[in-house]
């Protein structure tokens, strides 16, 4: 039986680890929040006293962390041992965090120097996809590393892509999230224009879904409250993908644009709008709450 160490049990990591348990794997978990580990223990996971304790002797390590500095510190170590110092020979390393590509490449290079395969595999699909096991994994790494990772990722996702070498998964992910932010802002703006001019937002959404303005936010994640059940906008924008995380990802996209001298005016504007939205106290709300920035005061 495959033993997986899963480190980082937040809104995404927790459900992903559960799906590995459901797939029949032995899952050892660690998180800085004890309650998160206890929740997984109740579903069959084995809790560890530290990240290194979870990873030692595991066949596969999966990490889901907030930022590149956390990934570097965990794998490479700083004042204490890193995961690369304790994992067994042949252990597969998968990082599903969304971080800067340079951090992913640095960890991959250090892993390769020890004869280990490291795959950066950020995800798309949100908390609902994590729970349902229908996530999209966007992978960077060697062909051999991707081949080893795919069967594990298929326990948690429905779409598994190999974007290229180390760091490529991160680049593809931030491109996707930059586009998503632009679509969410544009959809919110268009719906608000319709509402201000007397249209029913559900009727307008149904029209646009099958017209040239159709997009994922209209089909799966409508930002207008009451139009679509079971999405954050109909739950006071709770759950889902936090504004703070979108701000982080848009920051990564603009850093990448600067380094490659790419022109991303829509991405830059979307970042500015989301930063302003976060500063108004919306950082922990779902990113579709940007809709409220376009509402008329009654």
In the annotation, is 202 catalytic?
no
Residue from 114, 173, 220, 248 carrying the catalytic annotation: 173
What whole-number distance in Å separates Cα of residue 248 and Cα of residue 178?
A: 11
Terminal-to-terminal C-alpha distance of the chain: 60
CA distance to 8, 41, 70, 72, per residue, from 66 (Å) = 9, 22, 7, 11
What whole-number distance in Å separates Cα of residue 298 and Cα of residue 296?
A: 6
Which neighbouring-strand residues pair with 120? 95, 140
CA distance to 61, 118, 235, 295, per residue, from 55 (Å) = 6, 14, 37, 48
What whole-number distance in Å separates Cα of residue 150 and Cα of residue 160?
A: 7
* Of 270, 174, 184, the residue nearest 220 (C-alpha): 184
CA distance to 14, 18, 277, 289, per residue, from 233 (Å) = 23, 26, 15, 7
Tell me which residues are annotated as active site: 173
């Amino acid at each position: 039986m495959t033993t997986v160490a899963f480190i980082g049990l937040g809104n995404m990591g927790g459900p992903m680890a559960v799906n590995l348990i459901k797939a029949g794997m032995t899952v050892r978990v660690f998180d800085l929040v004890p309650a998160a580990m206890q929740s997984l223990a109740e579903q069959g996971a084995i809790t560890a006293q530290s990240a290194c304790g979870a990873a030692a002797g595991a066949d596969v390590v999966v990490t889901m962390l907030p930022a590149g500095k956390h990934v570097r510190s965990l794998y490479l170590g700083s004042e204490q041992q890193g995961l690369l110092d304790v994992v067994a020979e042949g252990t597969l390393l998968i990082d599903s965090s969304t971080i800067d590509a340079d951090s992913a490449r640095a960890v991959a290079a250090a892993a390769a120097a020890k004869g280990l395969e490291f795959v950066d595999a950020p995800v798309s699909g949100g908390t609902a996809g994590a729970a349902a096991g229908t996530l999209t994994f966007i992978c960077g790494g060697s062909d051999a590393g991707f081949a080893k990772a795919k069967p594990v990722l298929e326990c948690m996702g429905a779409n598994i892509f190999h974007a290229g070498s180390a760091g490529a998964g991160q680049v593809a992910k931030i491109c996707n999230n930059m586009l998503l932010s632009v679509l969410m802002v544009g959809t919110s703006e268009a719906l608000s224009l319709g509402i201000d001019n007397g249209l029913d937002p559900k009727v307008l959404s149904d029209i646009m879904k099958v017209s040239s303005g159709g997009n994922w936010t209209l089909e799966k994640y409508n930002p207008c409250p009451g139009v679509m059940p079971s999405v954050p906008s109909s739950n006071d924008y709770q759950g889902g993908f936090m504004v703070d995380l979108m701000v982080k990802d848009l920051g990564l996209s603009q850093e990448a644009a600067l380094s490659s001298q790419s022109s991303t005016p829509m991405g830059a504007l979307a970042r500015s709008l989301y930063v302003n939205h976060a500063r108004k106290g919306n950082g922990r709300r779902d990113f579709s709450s940007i809709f409220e920035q376009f509402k008329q005061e009654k």
